[in-house]
Amino acid sequence: MALKKLVAGNWKMHGLSSDLAEISTIAEAARAYPSVDVALCVPAILIERAARAVPGFAIGGQDVHQEAKGAHTGCTSAQMLLDAGAALTIVGHSERRDAQRESDAEVQAKAEAALGCGLNVILCVGESLEIREGGKAVDTVLAQLDGSIPPQPPEEAELAIAYEPIWAIGTGKIPTADEIAEMHAAIRGRLVERYIAPGSGVRILYGGSVKASNAGEIFSIPDVDGALVGGASLRADDFMPIVAAAAAVEA
């Protein structure tokens, strides 16, 4: 079953009010590709202004706290993201798993909190270079997936998985098509095992050095249902050719 492709940008810690015009340019250009879902996950402080600037276009957060409210200095709840106009959020990005020492259990709690209040979730998994070279990439990613996804298939909102090999993020290196195909097939298998029928409807995105020059090949790999794009999502000139590549594969 071919799923509609989702191309989401992760702006990470990039973006000031002067970049709102670029978000508008991307949202406007995305209207030419109705066969692809397009989203931008921007810094929390930009969400409200971005969402107001581009009504109907999916703006997302990059992290969420698992509690609804409380004494958690510097954190943002799912309700706050929704209230600001977000439609989705990333959880479990490797940069947070690493720098903020987020565990699988914490990522799972964040995903459940977000989905439970109607925010779509892109949940990230991915192995280090050491694990890849040690031949344990698939086992490691499936263990991460098992520990991080909600126990039941979500009904309130959409869960998507992003496979992002850590060594491919921001490096210009990407796995071979066979390695991506093997990992996405393994993730699909585990989702179907865990969620039965709904497991085949969960979109599995690839992330890590996706650019216009490699997007077409990546999108044609079975079970690649889109991309999570970092650096190449900051400018419409770099991002829109990736969206166009997704549309071309759909066609």
Q: Show the tokens assigned to 217.
A: 């090949």
Containing 69, the helix (H) or strand (E) segment is none
Q: Does 144 bind ligand 13P (CB under 6 A)?
A: no
Query: Residues 15, 92, 207, 226: which binds ligand 13P (CB under 6 A)?
Result: 207
Q: Is the dihedral of CA 125, 130, 131, 135 positive or negative?
A: positive
Count of residues touching ligand 13P (by CB under 6 A): 14
Is 93 catalytic? The answer is: yes
Q: For residue 117, which phi and psi values (nearest 5 degrees)? A: -110, 15
Q: Pick the catalytic residue from 22, 65, 93, 158.
A: 93
Query: Binding string, 74-93, against ligand 13P, x = CB under 6 A?
Result: -------------------x
Query: Residues 164, 188, 236, 246: which binds ligand 13P (CB under 6 A)?
Result: 164
Q: Does 222 bind ligand 13P (CB under 6 A)?
A: no
Of 73-81, 140-148, 189-197, 222-230, the window that binds ligand 13P (rule: CB under 6 A) is: 222-230
**Is beta strand 5-10 parallel, antiparallel or unpaired with respect to 203-207?**
unpaired
Amino acid in the structure at residue 200: S
Inter-residue contact 246 to 227 (CB < 8 Å): yes
The DSSP 8-state label assigned to residue 19 in this structure reads: G
Residues binding ligand 13P (CB under 6 A): 10, 93, 164, 169-170, 207-210, 228-232
Active site residues: 93, 164
